Amino acid sequence: MRACVITLGCQMNEYDTHAIQSQLAGIGYTFVDNFKEADLVMLNTCAVRGKPVDKARSILGDLRREKRERRITVGLMGCLAQLPEGQEMGLKYGVDIMLGPGALTEIVPAIQKGKFQSFEFKQELNFYTPPPPVGTLSAHVSITRGCNHKCTYCIVPTTRGAEVSRSADDIVKEVEALRDAGVVEVSLLGQNVNSYGLEPGLGPNRKLLPGFPSFADLLRRVGRTGIPRLRFITSHPINFTDDIIEALAETPSVCRYIHLPVQAGSNRVLKRMAREYTREYYLDRIRKIRERLPDVSLSTDVIVGFPGETEEDFQDTLSLYDEVRYDMAYMFIYSERAGTPAAKHFDDIPHDIKVNRLMRLIERQKHWSWDRYRAWVGQEVEVLIKGRAHDEGLMQGHTRGNHAVVVPSGIAPTTGLYRVTVTHATPHMLYAEGALPVPTGVGTHA
Ligand code: SF4
């Protein structure tokens, strides 16, 4: 039996894909990339933005046509499967199995029953531990699920429920198993990893749940497993404590890369988004991070065209970019999601203005990315080569600071950790030479 799992979305979706694939492998499935060769197709879809939902609709249309020609089972999973919009699509396109994010372990019984089924969110099933991947150098480890925040544009609290933290012992065991299987880079994963182990609620003053370490102490503990590279995603500025910054500075395996979503540079917009912090608070976090970790690389998420965003608000986002100087940024046009508080506001920014703001922001980011990338020219860095680049004769990977790097395949013929010297840079890529393999052990910060 052959399965095809199509993933549209974030690291959370990728993690869920791995969880589904390992269960399917356990009952004898092999995997193909082309759904036309599969007996089972699982579409794993994010619902945070409108684009992946539109794409999912189009793929489900293709799958419905495929179903008319031959016998296949089609499943919809991920955040979309949890929403009324997804349920309607499931019925319309003849989907056989609907699996919300909290019902991943229902996949095997669902296939065995083989008729239309929809599984409700089950928080207790959240922390399925997939077996270590074979021949993979990077892996995700889920440490929290769900989110307590109430950002007004976001559907995640509806689809993934309230925050739940996984036991620290289980996390450490999974990281040790990955390390023993040859994985060199682990990313700790959650909607808001910084609130790991905290009691229910919101804000910067939550206490720890009995028996849980803080996120900072979890980083220290996982760092002691000897995994060479440790990353984490995603952070929320309100929970990014001084102690986390200390833990980063003290733990050599933690890569000096922080993704700290800001979403907007204007206090007025931040308030309407219910982000719980001000521009000044955010910039103070950045100042503290840079003080303690001068070589850190930073990235962010930004939404342009949130309802009511004026040109002046947008200028605040541009000026925040100039103050922070991100290495990279993920920038999006606001898209209304049914069921979110922001959907009650009139989406009053004309599309051409949203596009214009996005283009200007991308240009500003390009300026700072180039500034940050070219500062590496002439320096030696550690790179994790993960495979061939698109261009012939090149291999690609990432530095500890998450900068994309390519090297000639002649000098880095296999995947793994290398030390290389950066020869030139573009705003999105470092080019390097002189690769020397790094013995697998805790890397150095460059
Ligand atoms: S922090 Fe806000 S944007 Fe992030 S998942 Fe939670 S509600 Fe959504």
Residue boundaries of the structural domains of the chain: 2-121, 125-374, 380-437
Q: Give one DSSP letter per residue of 168-206, joined into a string.
A: HHHHHHHHHHHHHTT--EEEEE-TTGGGTTBPSS-STTP
Both structure tokens of 143: 């440490």
Q: Select from 10, 12, 46, 149 the residue to mutate for testing ligand 1; criterion: most ligand atoms less than 8 Å from CB.
A: 149
Residue 141 neighbours by CB under 8 Å, 6+ apart? 171, 174, 175, 178, 186, 187, 188, 189
Q: What is the pLDDT of residues 157-199, one digit of tens each?
A: 888 888 999 999 999 999 999 999 999 999 999 999 999 999 9
Specify the pLDDT at position 277.
Answer: 97
Provide the pLDDT for residue 31. 95
Determine the distance separating the centroid of ligand 1 and the alpha carbon of 79, expressed in angstroms. 13
C-beta separation of 403 from 297 below 8 A: yes
Which residues, judged by CB distance below 6 Å to any ligand atom, belong to the binding site of ligand 1? 147, 149, 151, 154, 156-157, 191-192, 236
- For the segment(s) 125-374, the CATH number from 3.30.420.40, 3.30.70.20, 3.80.30.20, 3.40.50.2300 is 3.80.30.20
Atom 2 in ligand 1: residue holding the nearest Cα = 151
Token pair for residue 392?
């012939």
Which pLDDT value is given to residue 443? 45
* pLDDT exceeds cutoff 60 at 435: yes
Ligand 1 centre from 276 Cα, in Å? 11
125-374 and 380-437 share one fold: no
Q: What is the pLDDT of residue 114?
A: 62
Residue nearest to ligand 1 atom 4, measured at CA: 191
Question: For 291, how many CA atoms within 13 A lie in the half-sphere containing its CB?
Answer: 9
pLDDT at 115: 57
Cα(309) to ligand 1 centroid in Å equals 19
Q: Ligand 1 centroid vs 296 CA: distance in angstroms?
A: 24
The predicted model gives 286-310 an average pLDDT of: 97
- Mean pLDDT on 324-343: 92
Examine the pLDDT at 442 and tell me if it is beyond 60. no
Predicted local confidence at residue 412, as pLDDT: 84
Q: From CA 236, how far away is CA 95, in angstroms rounded?
A: 35
Amino acid 49: pLDDT: 78
The structure tokens listed for 229 are 């590279």
What is the rounded distance in angstroms from the CA atom of residue 99 to the CA atom of residue 102?
A: 8
Angstrom CA distances, 162 to 31, 294, 336, stand at: 33, 35, 22
- Residues of 388-404 as b/e, b for ≥16 C-beta within 10 angstroms? ebeeeebbbbbbbbbbb
100-147 pLDDT per residue, tens: 877 778 888 888 776 556 655 455 445 777 777 778 899 999 999 889
Q: Cα dist. 414→222, 283, 441, 446 in Å?
A: 27, 41, 18, 21
Residue 245 has pLDDT above 70, yes or no: yes
Question: Which of 102-106, 241-245, 256-260, 415-419 bottoms out in mean pLDDT, i.e. has the lowest?
Answer: 102-106
Dihedral in degrees, nearest 10, Cα atoms 207, 210, 215, 217? 120
Q: Above pLDDT 90, what percent of the chain?
A: 69
pLDDT band at 444 (very low <50, low <70, confident <90, very high): very low
The upper half-sphere exposure of residue 103, i.e. CA atoms within 13 Å in the direction of its Cβ, equals: 24
Mutation choice for ligand 1 from 155, 191, 196, CB with most ligand atoms inside 8 A:
191
**Rounded Cα–Cα distance for residues 337 and 326 (Å):** 28
Please tell me the predicted confidence (pLDDT) of residue 169.
96
**147 CA: nearest ligand 1 atom:** 6
What's the pTM value of the predicted model, to 2 decimals? 0.88
- 18: alpha, beta or left, given left = phi > 0 and alpha = psi -120 to 50? alpha
User: What is the residue-averaged pLDDT of the chain?
Assistant: 91
Question: Which among 38, 39, 37, 50 is positioned nearest to 8, based on CA atoms?
Answer: 50
- Probe ligand 1: pick from 150, 153, 156, max atoms within 8 Å of CB? 156
Interhelix angle 351-374/311-324, nearest 10 degrees: 10
Range scoring the smallest mean pLDDT among 52-61, 62-71, 74-83, 419-428: 74-83
pLDDT at 28: 92
User: What gap in Å lies between CA 149 and CA 143, rounded to an integer?
Assistant: 17
* pLDDT tier for residue 333 given thresholds of 50, 70 and 90: very high
102 three-state secondary structure: helix
Residue-level pLDDT at 445: 47
CATH of domain 2-121: 3.40.50.360
Other Cβ atoms within 10 Å of 30 Cβ, number:
10
CA of 156 to the centre of ligand 1 (A): 6
**Cα 77 to Cα 333: distance, rounded to the nearest angstrom:** 25
422 in helix, strand or coil?
strand
Distance (Å, whole) CA 102 – CA 158: 12
Distance 39 CA to ligand 1 centre (A): 36
Tell me the CATH architecture of domain 380-437.
Beta Barrel (2.40)
Q: Distance (Å, rounded) from C-alpha 83 to C-alpha 57? A: 14
Long-range CB contact pairs, 361-368, < 8 A, 24+:
361/302, 361/304, 361/317, 361/318, 361/321, 361/329, 361/331, 362/331, 364/318, 364/321, 364/322, 365/321, 365/326, 365/328, 365/329, 365/331, 366/427, 367/427, 368/321, 368/322, 368/325, 368/326, 368/327
Whether pLDDT at 57 is above 70: yes
pLDDT tens figures, 378-421: 999 999 999 999 888 999 999 999 999 999 988 888 899 999 99
- 257, amino acid identity: Y
